[in-house]
Amino acid sequence: MTHRAAPGCPEPAGGQISPFNHSGNADALVWGLMAMPTMAFVLVPFIPGVRSIPRYVPVHRLIWRDHYRHRD
C-alpha cells in the first residue's frame, strides 16, 4: 500500500527505509530494531562503566543547583 501526502502537505522526506522496503516481515524487523536501543536504556544502571558517567560529568548539578539553593 502506498501512502500519499494530503494536498498542500509536503511529500515524506525519505519514503520508506530501504532495508525494510522489500521485506515481507518489516514490522518484526522494526520491532527488533527498536528493542535493541530500548534494552540498552533499560540496562544502563547495570553496566558498570556507563552507570558511573554522572559521577565524572556532573551535568545534574547544573540542572538542580537552583533547587538546592532555595531549599530550606
pLDDT at 42: 94
pLDDT at 39: 94
What tens digit of pLDDT does each residue of 13-63 get? 445 677 777 778 888 888 999 999 999 999 988 988 888 888 888 888 888
Query: Domain map of the chain by residue range?
Result: 18-69
Q: Is the pLDDT of residue 66 over 90?
A: no
CA atoms of 29 and 7, how far apart (whole Å): 31
Could you tell me how many helices (H) and strands (E) the chain has, helices first?
5, 0
Q: Point out the least confidently predicted range of 10-14, 51-55, 68-72.
A: 10-14
pLDDT at 15: 52
Cβ–Cβ under 8 Å, residues 45 and 51: yes
Q: Which helix (H) or strand (E) holds 37?
A: helix 26-43
